[in-house]
Amino acid sequence: MTLSTTPASLELIAANIPLIDVRAPVEFAQGSLPGAVNLPLMVDEERHQVGIAYKQQGQQAAIALGERLVSGEVKQARIAAWQQYLAQHPEAIVYCFRGGLRSKIAQQWLADTGVHRPRIEGGWKALRQRLCQRIDEAARQPMLVIAGLTGCAKTALIHRLPNGIDLEACANHKGSAFGRQPEEPTTQIDFEHALAQRLIGQTGKLVFEDESRQIGNANIPLEVWYALQRAPRIRIEMPLDWRLDQLRRDYIEALEQGYAARFGPEEGRRRMQRQLSSALERLAKRLGNARLQRLQRLQAMAFRAHAAGDIQAHEAWLAPLLTEYYDPLYRYHLEKQQNSRPAELFVGDWESCLAAARQWST
């Protein structure tokens, strides 16, 4: 029986085709393909034993060991997991690392039960190469950067543009000491894949938010980073009160809602407070001991007021954090980079910057 294949094309990602990743969980955790679910042929320990056999005794011995380890009820459980997923997603496609033995075995076992699905030619590796190639291509497209002080809603502006690329969403991190989300930040590989997925179909001008190269656990690929440093900029300027309102919604309310959805209201609030406290402590060296202690006292008071229903109390510690730390730091970097970056195309309030970004894009 001939087992069918499908090319490692970005169209699979663009069409949101469900994917079955039959690699071991440890491989999947390091980086998967967008839209993939991990239903392994071998779990980590089985893969480890087979790997040792391959190195010491060769391929045939490794295959024989794999057949012994994944047999009987274990084999039937693996097949049942694939069948169950395919019953809900009949268009799903199978892949392993290189589109070789593991995905072929999964295909064959499914075919023996009357279920026929293709595997990706070249597997994870081939499609990852295409995704990385898409990122390299994007580095040669025209780019615009949206800059501004913390709290200027740069991400919200990006979301209003059809050609806006949200790097923070790719990293699952808001890009500052306070930017961690309830879910774990993505790995470097998953960040790159998410970025490439957002770039598919974006053949013209691109708009990005001004970011540090590192966002959470991930680094912006170098070619894109260099292109962003050369790109023209639009800078948002908004008053402190407006920015504080934005920060409270983004970093307090949305964060609490995210934790509450995952852990329940009480535990969610505790985790939110613990995260914000830890984030403040991570700035200890830069803030200095006296300023840190003052902000910690204000933060603790805000937590108590928040529990009593006064969420606006957080502005008491957010305001000095902005005016005494983030704003001076941003202006220092802005002044330092004045001679090395292109002149700003436009400076204005949020609405006028949105209009300017749209005009540049079209």
First to last CA, the chain: 53
According to the model, what pLDDT value does residue 147 have?
A: 95
According to the model, what pLDDT value does residue 359 have?
A: 97
The residues with which 347 forms a beta bridge, in sequence order, are 235
The residues with which 209 forms a beta bridge, in sequence order, are 146
Given a cut of 90, whether residue 132 has pLDDT beyond it is yes
Taking only the tens place, the pLDDT of each residue in 31-77 is 999 999 999 999 999 999 998 998 999 888 988 988 899 999 999 99
Given a cut of 90, whether residue 6 has pLDDT beyond it is yes
Taking only the tens place, the pLDDT of each residue in 267-293 is 999 999 999 999 899 999 989 999 999
170 has catalytic annotation: no
Token pair belonging to 137? 């291509």
Among 26-35, 60-69, 86-95, where is mean pLDDT lowest?
A: 60-69
According to the model, what pLDDT value does residue 217 have?
A: 87
- Choose, from 96, 152, 170, 353, the residue flagged as catalytic: 96
**How far apart, in whole angstroms, are the C-alpha atoms of residue 344 and residue 349?**
14
According to the model, what pLDDT value does residue 165 have?
A: 98
Phi, psi of 208 (to 5 degrees): -125, 160
Query: Which CATH number applies to 5-129: 3.30.360.10, 3.40.250.10, 3.30.56.10, 1.25.40.10?
Result: 3.40.250.10
Mean pLDDT on 107-113: 95
According to the model, what pLDDT value does residue 176 have?
A: 73
Q: How many other β-carbons are positioned within 10 Å of the β-carbon of residue 200?
A: 17
What burial class does residue 332 get, using C-beta atoms within 10 Å of its C-beta: 0-12 exposed, 13-18 middle, 19+ buried? exposed
Given a cut of 90, whether residue 353 has pLDDT beyond it is yes
Q: pLDDT confidence of 1, banded at 50, 70, 90?
A: low
Q: How many other β-carbons are positioned within 10 Å of the β-carbon of residue 147?
A: 20
Listed by start position, the domains of the chain span: 5-129, 139-362
Token pair belonging to 81? 């997991």
Token pair belonging to 97? 């690392």
What's the predicted TM-score (pTM) here?
0.92
- Report the percent of the chain where pLDDT is more than 90: 80
Q: Are 186 and 179 in contact (CB under 8 A)?
A: no
Given a cut of 80, whether residue 338 has pLDDT beyond it is no
Q: Are 104 and 3 in contact (CB under 8 A)?
A: yes
According to the model, what pLDDT value does residue 251 have?
A: 86
What burial class does residue 320 get, using C-beta atoms within 10 Å of its C-beta: 0-12 exposed, 13-18 middle, 19+ buried? middle
Mean pLDDT on 259-263: 91
Among 3-17, 134-148, 250-264, where is mean pLDDT lowest?
A: 250-264
- Report the percent of the chain where pLDDT is more than 70: 99
